[in-house]
Structure 1
Amino acid sequence: MYKRRIIYGYLIALVAFTGCSTAPEDEAVARVGEKTLYRSKLLEILPKDISRDDSITLSNDYIDKWIKQELLIQKADENLSAEQKDLSAELQEYRNSLIIYKYKNELIKQRMDTTVSGQQIEEYYARNQANFNLSSSIAKATFVMIPTDLANPELVKELVADTSPEGIDELREYCGQYAKKANISVDEWINFQVLKKNFPENITDDEAFLSGKSFYEMNDSNYYYLVSIHDYKLSNDLAPLEFVENNIKNLILNQRKIRFLKEMEENIYTEGVRQKKFKIYDTKTN
């Protein structure tokens, strides 16, 4: 009953501020103990150009969550000891962690070299090939799914077979008009597990499928499917460099970041020693 009165009271207030621009923005809309929720807070969370009904729904939801949170805080405050409620140490630790994190990020943005050359990527790949075995098969493939009543198999096969830039553009244009789904990855590696989910047939042996033929035609009651395998690598094969290039770049940058931050901490310590910014006391007792 209490919640209904709160919401009903707010709906009246909501109508007032949506229909009258002179209504005071800091009118109270809910109260729990000594805590008060004001209309100005609701105005902050409401998106611009929201409809009246949506604003009512969103506002009432916010009020409901605010009341539950404040009641929980009140209950916790009543039942925890003063020692348990003393958060000064935790807050100080959190502040320290946050300010150090922000400082490190600012230093990284300002001073760390984030350029990774192609040569660096190639050298890392050559040194760490054992770490780049594929966990699943990948392929360069073209997949087309066209409604049966629109499909022209001979034309589709002819378009798919032409892997020149002009041919790919023509295939994309054709698929844009007629295909339900299409994936044209002549020069890009894709995960074969993702691709084969679109097939009407269940492929259980990736190696047999990928190494068998370059063209596969499939049909179901509604669609004609064409799959063209341009290249492939099987699970446990060494991943092609271009497939893992971005991962290697991120690995190099992460290692560089670790070294940078370690050097930064050591430099700050050295500066502290030189400028006598700290002192270590002898705590030995005789």
Structure 2
Amino acid sequence: MASCNSLFKEEPEKEPIARVGDSYLYKDDVANLIPQGLKGRDSAAFVVNYINNWASKELLLDKSKINIPEEQLQEFNRLVDNYRTDLYTRAYLEALVQQSSDTSVTKEELQGFYNNEKENFRLSEKLVQLRFVALPLQFLDKDIVETKLKSFKAEDKNYLDSIAVQFKKLHFNDSIWVSASRLIEEIPPLTSQNEEKYLKNSQFFELQDSIGVYLGRVSNVLDINDTAPLSYVTPDIKQIIINRRRLSQIKKIETEIIDEAIKKNEFEIYGKD
């Protein structure tokens, strides 16, 4: 017949490695924190350091509970409880929203939002549509590239594409809006002091520094306080729409949870007329 000990096995007690007052630090807790690869003296040093840090915090915590005024302790406990509640509820809501989240935004939604919020999309810096190339200083056919870049018919683009490996940089898509600050990064001789001279509608520019020659053909410019084009702010609008959708979903979940709790008699407010 089996003994009582074999029938009713008790869970093995955790092995403590340090104590401060009534608080214990257990071997298993520290073992899981030791970085992989630490062995021998390094591992032991890590454990000793962790124990000392733990003890220091526990001792300071005990002292604080004795020396901090009671009303302040109550306020701290309230803040801790609120923080814990926020962590749990936020994680739960995020999980629910992820399950039903829709990150697709139609062109109609983008256009509608843009039309209604145009005043909020004023530019804080100049935008430019252009095409440009950066050539090595020793490049021989600069004049041909300049002519092709200005004309930019289908055959011109084909020619430039065919020799593109010889360029240090290139940007041929002049339907894309680029900020002046980005261009200043890409074209070192272009600066905030001289951009007004070179970044103008229908302007062709040639700039040079110690490492190359930069040829550019500006097709369009939008200045500070102009309304940003939809194509430029589309990523921002999309994110705003998704965020609003998410907040709406969270509000809906919170409302449904309360309604369900009321129906199940799990939630009621006392003293209502």
Residues 116-141 of structure 1: CA distance to partner in whole angstroms, max 9, x if unpaired? 21111111111111001111011122
Partner of 2:86: 97
Is 1:178 the counterpart of 2:166? The answer is yes
Question: What is the DSSP-based 3-state SS (H/G/I as helix, E as strand, rest coil) of the residue aligned with 1:80?
Answer: helix
TM-score under structure 2 length normalisation: 0.70
Report the CA distance shift for 1:276/1:39 in structure 2 as closer, same or farther (over 3 A): closer
- Aligned residue type for 1:73: W
Question: What is the DSSP-based 3-state SS (H/G/I as helix, E as strand, rest coil) of the residue aligned with 2:163?
Answer: helix
Partner of 1:6: none
Partner of 1:145: 134
Report the CA distance shift for 1:65/1:208 in structure 2 as closer, same or farther (over 3 A): farther
Query: Which whole-Å CA distance do the structure 2 matches of 1:151 and 1:275 have between them?
Result: 83
Unpaired stretches in structure 2, ≥5 consecutive residues: 1-16, 20-24, 67-72
Partner of 2:183: 195
Question: What is the DSSP-based 3-state SS (H/G/I as helix, E as strand, rest coil) of the residue aligned with 2:103?
Answer: coil
Which of these residues, 204, 220, 237, is aligned with residue 193 of structure 2? Answer: 204
Query: Which whole-Å CA distance do the structure 2 matches of 1:163 and 1:135 have between them?
Result: 31
Q: Give 1:89 deviation, angstroms.
A: 6.9
CA RMSD of aligned residues (A): 3.8
Residues 80-139 of structure 1: CA distance to partner in whole angstroms, max 9, x if unpaired? 317749998777544432332222222222234433211111111111110011110111
Query: Which whole-Å CA distance do the structure 1 matches of 2:34 and 2:107 have between them?
Result: 51
Report the CA distance shift for 1:82/1:124 in structure 2 as closer, same or farther (over 3 A): same
Partner of 1:232: 221
Query: Which whole-Å CA distance do the structure 1 matches of 2:190 and 2:232 have between them?
Result: 27
Partner of 2:212: 223
Q: Is the 8 A contact 1:124 1:248 kept in 2?
A: yes
Which of these residues, 46, 51, 59, is aligned with residue 78 of structure 1? Answer: 59
Query: Which whole-Å CA distance do the structure 1 matches of 2:48 and 2:159 have between them?
Result: 60
Residues 35-84 of structure 1: CA distance to partner in whole angstroms, max 9, x if unpaired? 776699443xx6xxxxxxxx99xx96x98777655433322222331774
Which of these residues, 224, 242, 245, is aligned with residue 231 of structure 2? Answer: 242
Unpaired stretches in structure 1, ≥5 consecutive residues: 1-30, 47-54
- Give aligned pairs, total: 239
Report the CA distance shift for 1:66/1:208 in structure 2 as closer, same or farther (over 3 A): farther
Identity across the alignment (%): 22
Question: What is the DSSP-based 3-state SS (H/G/I as helix, E as strand, rest coil) of the residue aligned with 1:78?
Answer: helix
Query: Which whole-Å CA distance do the structure 1 matches of 2:190 and 2:101 have between them?
Result: 51
Report the CA distance shift for 1:165/1:260 in structure 2 as closer, same or farther (over 3 A): farther
Query: Which whole-Å CA distance do the structure 2 matches of 1:259 and 1:39 have between them?
Result: 40
Report the structure number with the largest CA radius of gyration. Answer: 2
Query: Which whole-Å CA distance do the structure 1 matches of 2:57 and 2:33 have between them?
Result: 27
Q: Is the 8 A contact 2:201 2:218 kept in 1?
A: no
Query: Which whole-Å CA distance do the structure 1 matches of 2:45 and 2:177 have between them?
Result: 49
Report the CA distance shift for 1:142/1:84 in structure 2 as closer, same or farther (over 3 A): farther
